[in-house]
Every structure is written in structure tokens, then in C-alpha cells.
Amino acid sequence: MSDPLYRKELLRLAADATGAGRLPSACFTGQAFNPTCGDRVTIDIALEENRIAGIAHATKACVLTQASAAILGAELVGFSRDEVLQLREKVADMLGGGDRPDAPFDAFGAFDGVVPHANRHNCVLLPLDAVLAAFDASDARKPG
């Protein structure tokens, strides 16, 4: 397949599906939905001291969304909400033609073929939005 939207690296990430499934006892769940294409992502996170201690994702989505979720499943443990928000901004900037995120998220560089397809940017960002929604769910359950 020579289509830059579906490079080998993306297909491999999606097939590996690192972190796919659900956490057996998730602390918080976030969902994101793309009404344009029907992609849906559910992210479970367990938190310790406001940092991700465990993560799993259930994606009913295109290869782009699946690959993005797999990157998060492999690398997001230990990160705070603010760091996830910064990552989302960095990935959005990359999709706008900026630099790829630094390690350990440099795998997002495999999405460089998506840059000229603005209608597909949301597919890459959807798993990050679901993680942020899970953090928002944790904030909503804090006392006070």
C-alpha cells in the first residue's frame, strides 16, 4: 500500500494495538467520538498522585485512530493531565506542519502523511481527547 495515510508504521502500530482492551478496575473512563466518520474511542485510566498508572483503550475506529491510541497505550503511563494536554497541542501542531513530538512520542511522526488531509487530523487527536475526558471525569469526582 503506497497511500501516505496508511504507511507501514501506522499499520504496524494499529495491528500491535498496544494497550487495547479495558482496565479490569479502571478509576476513570473518557470517551471521544468523531461524528464525521463514526470513530469512537473509550479510554480507561488508573491514577496515582494525579499521574497515569494504567491505561487501556477500546477503539471502534479507523487505522489512524487505532495507531494513535496504540502509541498512547505504549507510552502514557506516568504522565499528568497537563503533560497530556501539552502532547495534544504538540501533535496538533505537527499535523499543522510543525515538528513531531519528542521521544517517547516521536512515533507520532508516522502521521506525517496526514498533514495535508485536515479532515483526518481529528482521527489522530481523538484518543488524546478521550484521555483528557478521563482526567476530567477524575476531576469531577474529587470532593469539594
Q: What is the pTM of this model?
A: 0.91
Higher pLDDT, 59 or 18: 59
pLDDT in tens, 3-19: 666 778 888 888 888 89
Q: Which three cell numbers stand for residue 25?
A: 478496575
Q: Which domain holds residue 36?
A: 4-138
The CATH number covering residue 45 comes to 3.90.1010.10
Angle at 128 between CA 125 and CA 36, to 5 degrees: 40
For 101-111, how does the pLDDT look when each residue is reduced to its tens digit (9 = 90+)? 999 999 999 99
Dihedral, CA of residue 67, residue 34, residue 95 and residue 19, to nearest 10: -20
For position 4, what pLDDT does the model report?
Answer: 67
pLDDT at 144 over 80: no
Work out how many domains the chain is built from and give that number. 1
Cis peptide before 127 (omega within 30 of 0): no
Q: Identify which of 128, 96, 89, 129 has the alpha carbon closest to the alpha carbon of residue 112.
A: 96
111 assigned to some structural domain:
yes
